[in-house]
């Protein structure tokens, strides 16, 4: 069998696109873990809520006659705002009262929250998967001029998520709030002594993370044309794998981890069998945690007695 470059390129870009969405969701996990050391199990459900909110907004706007990109942008923005509110509320209800409790308590609370949100959407909306309106046109003429190496949906996903990630990196690097976030992640007590309101920073982290997850949810829903109440679990687990792969707590790590995981899955599905892409993700998760818990870009934690 000779090497089919066109096929390879197709797989490469679809893997990259998938990876960019994993990276978007993974950022939420990694930022929260960096600041309060909690695996926010409910993060995948926030992503799912984002997809549902976008679906509802797109449904409402569908009849007015806006251009497709107008609907997509408004749906994404509303989903991001609402999901930030969900993220903020979840933190206040389920995690904040548990500061200072044993390490397992917030994790169990997070699992409970995830179960709760999933069933809340199932009961409030539907247990079937719902079609998401086809917003993205099938063809972009400029992409066709460039040899049609990507589908329009993939192109929008990749470009948006890359832009957002750059923006986030700049925000964390250069703004005062970003600096405060980094300080809190390094040493919360010390940051508080220097006048940083740690509670506000924690809320901010949840808000930003949830908005990114909601954006990911909207983009995926618009791309695949399907939304269901159960999509959060798998996406959440994969994004978490990406965060761990890159080194949990590290923001560039989450981006890198997402892209690597997306490419690995894409190539497994493309050259081996799509049955095993999920197995691959979970196996990667288990293997990294066992053999290199610090991930690609993380630093090993040293436990002092």
Partner 1 sequence: MNVTMRILLRSLMVSAWFVLLTFPVLCVKVAARQHTVTVLWERAVGMFAVMIGCSLLWMWYFHRKEHGAESGSSAVSSALAGFSEKWHGLTSNRVFSSSGMGVLLAVGVLLPLVGSMYQTTIFANAFLYVMLALGLNIAVGIAGQLVLGYAAFYAIGAYAYGLLNQYFGLGFWVCLPLGGLLAALAGLLLGFPVLRLQGDYLAIVTLGFGEIVRLLLNNLRDITGGSQGVASIPRPAFFMELSAEQSMNYMYYLTFAAMLVTIVVVARLKNSRVGLALQALRDDEIASEAMGIDLRTVKLQAFALGSCWAGFAGVLLAARINFISPASFTFMDSAMVLSMVVLGGMGSISGVVVAALVLTLAPEYLRAFSEYRMLLFGALMVLMMIFRPQGLIPSRKRAYSPAGAASGSAEGGRA
- The residues binding partner 1 (CB under 8 A) are 38-39, 49, 52-53, 55-60, 62-63, 78, 82, 85-86, 89, 93-94, 97-98, 101-109, 111-121, 123-125, 130-133, 233, 237, 240, 244, 275-276, 278-279, 282-283, 285-286, 289-290, 293, 305
What's the min distance (Å) between Cβ of 147 and partner 1?
Answer: 33
Least CB distance to partner 1 at residue 251 (A): 19
Q: How far is the CB of 267 from partner 1 (least distance, A)?
A: 18
C-alpha span between 261 and 284 (Å, rounded): 9
Instruction: Decide whether 16 or 49 has the Cβ nearer to partner 1.
Output: 49
Q: In the bound complex, what is the minimum distance in angstroms from residue 16's beta carbon to partner 1?
A: 24
- Is residue 98 within 8 Å of 109, Cβ to Cβ? yes
Q: Are 269 and 224 in contact (CB under 8 A)?
A: no
Tokens 């993370």 belong to: 209
CA 262 to chain centroid: 12
Q: How many CB atoms lie within 10 A of CB 227?
A: 25
Judged by beta carbon, residue 133 or residue 266, the one nearer partner 1 is: 133
**Cβ neighbourhood burial of 4 (10 Å; 0-12, 13-18, 19+):** exposed
Q: Which is nearer to partner 1, 92 or 188 (CB)?
A: 92
First-last CA distance in the chain: 58
Nearer to partner 1, 130 or 169 (CB): 130
Closer to partner 1 by CB, 97 or 194: give it. 97
What angle (nearest 5°) sits at the alpha carbon of residue 105, between those of residues 101 and 108?
165
């Amino acid at each position: 069998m000779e090497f089919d470059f066109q096929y390879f390129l197709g797989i490469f870009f679809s893997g990259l696109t998938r990876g960019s969405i994993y990276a978007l969701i993974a950022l939420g996990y990694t930022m929260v873990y960096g600041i309060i050391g909690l695996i926010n199990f409910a993060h995948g459900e926030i992503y799912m809520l984002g997809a549902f909110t976008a679906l509802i907004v797109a449904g409402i706007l569908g009849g007015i006659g806006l251009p497709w990109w107008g609907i997509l942008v408004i749906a994404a923005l509303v989903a991001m705002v609402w999901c930030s509110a969900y993220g903020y509320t979840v933190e206040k209800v389920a995690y904040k009262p548990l500061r200072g409790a044993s390490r397992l308590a917030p994790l169990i609370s997070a699992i409970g929250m995830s179960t709760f949100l999933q069933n809340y959407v199932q009961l409030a909306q539907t247990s079937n998967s719902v079609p998401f309106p086809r917003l993205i046109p099938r063809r972009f003429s400029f992409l066709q001029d460039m040899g049609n190496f990507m589908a329009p949906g993939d192109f929008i996903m990749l470009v948006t998520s890359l832009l957002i990630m750059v923006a986030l990196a700049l925000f964390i690097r250069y703004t005062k709030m970003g600096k405060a976030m980094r300080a809190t992640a390094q040493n919360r007590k010390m940051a508080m002594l220097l006048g940083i309101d740690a509670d506000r920073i924690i809320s901010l982290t949840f808000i930003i993370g949830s908005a990114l997850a909601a954006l990911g949810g909207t983009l995926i829903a618009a791309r695949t044309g399907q939304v269901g109440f159960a999509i959060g679990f798998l996406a959440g687990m994969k994004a978490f794998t990406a965060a761990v792969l890159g080194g949990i707590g590290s923001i560039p790590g989450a981006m890198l981890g997402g892209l690597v995981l997306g490419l690995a899955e894409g190539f497994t599905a493309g050259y081996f069998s799509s049955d095993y892409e999920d197995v691959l993700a979970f196996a990667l998760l288990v293997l990294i945690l066992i053999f290199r818990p610090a991930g690609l870009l993380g630093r090993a934690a040293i436990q002092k007695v």
